[in-house]
């Protein structure tokens, strides 16, 4: 966020049937479809669904940080 003075942070939950790493990737990839200037991700919690003693779904709670783009504001200084 070298060019940004302020960052927003949102919390998301990514889900995958493959792995926790993939669940984090899913969260960031989906966020990037509608959010510009993503600069970082913090993994806050990892959980999983278990059926018959086997993990069926991996979940990752993440915080995604992105810079506030003041050039998009319509507010005069």
Distance of CA 53 to the CA centre of its chain: 29
Domain map (residue ranges) of the chain: 7-69
Q: Of all helices (H) and strands (E), which one includes residue 71? A: none
d(CA 63, CA 34): 15
- Mean pLDDT across 56-75: 85
How does residue 72 score in pLDDT terms, banded at 50, 70 and 90? Answer: low
How does residue 1 score in pLDDT terms, banded at 50, 70 and 90? Answer: very low
Phi first, then psi: what are they for 3, rounded to 5°? -100, 5
Q: What is the pLDDT of residues 20-56, one digit of tens each?
A: 999 999 999 999 999 988 999 999 999 999 999 999 9
We find that the CATH architecture of domain 7-69 is 2-Layer Sandwich (3.30)
The mean of the pLDDT values for the chain is 90
pLDDT above 70 covers a percentage of the chain that reads 84
């Amino acid at each position: 966020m070298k060019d940004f003075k302020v960052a927003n942070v949102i919390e998301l939950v990514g889900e995958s049937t493959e792995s926790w790493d993939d669940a984090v990737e899913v969260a960031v990839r989906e966020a990037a479809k509608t959010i510009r200037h993503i600069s970082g991700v913090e993994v806050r919690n990892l959980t999983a669904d278990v059926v018959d003693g086997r993990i069926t779904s991996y979940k990752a709670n993440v915080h995604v940080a992105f810079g506030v783009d003041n050039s998009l504001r319509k507010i005069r200084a």
